[in-house]
Structure 1
């Protein structure tokens, strides 16, 4: 039972940061590469990676590797309340559209998937 409380505490700690909540809102819409999140947040790659690491450790996001690029998406399979939390977050679809309009959608050497 202690491990359950520890795991839940890790989830709530991961959710207690506005940048990570923002990332979850984006990842609920589309799978994104680290470089795309760097462009959206105007943060360094190490800062974005650190946030994603915490979200992944909490079981809130999953990753998919393609060559040297890593793509992240929401993982609501381990924490059933996650979708309810994401549903309460502001709509950020315009940020994905802005990324596309700037030609930064999938700048990791792959063909853009519009």
Structure 2
């Protein structure tokens, strides 16, 4: 990890968010790929409002950012966030999740909104 330290309350807030399996998986995916809500709906087999709540929590803490492309919004890891090194340190210990996106591509459902 970087030499910078993180305050306990900030670390606790980040760890609380990442304590949810769905959000943790989202973060692992977003560390390498931009994704939109519809892709997460397909990956997690859950409702759009549920996915939007997870995204809102991550965005509110500044861990992810959004970019509008036409009428769609894509999300990515906010690598300029002051605590990105802390998050990256956690994520590097997790298994690669690229197979989830490959499955969407094989099913023809990757980026169905675009």
Q: TM tier, shorter chain?
A: 0.7 to 0.9
Point out 4+ residue stretches in structure 1 off by more than 4 angstroms: none
- Provide the TM-score with structure 1 as the length reference: 0.83
Q: Which of 72, 78, 86 does residue 81 from structure 1 map onto?
A: 86
In the TM superposition, residue 61 of structure 1 has moved relative to its aligned partner by 0.9
User: Could you tell me whether the CA contact under 8 Å between 1:7 and 1:58 is conserved in 2?
Assistant: no
> Which residue pairs with 2:55 in the alignment?
52
Distance 1:53 1:83, change over 3 A: same
Q: Give unmatched runs, 5+ long, in structure 2.
A: 1-6
> Which residue pairs with 2:12 in the alignment?
9
- Cα distance in 2, alignment partners of residues 34 and 71 from structure 1: 8
1:102 aligns with 2:107: yes
Higher mean displacement: 85-94 or 46-55: 85-94
Q: Give unmatched runs, 5+ long, in structure 1.
A: 110-114
The CA RMSD measured in Å over matched residues stands at 1.5
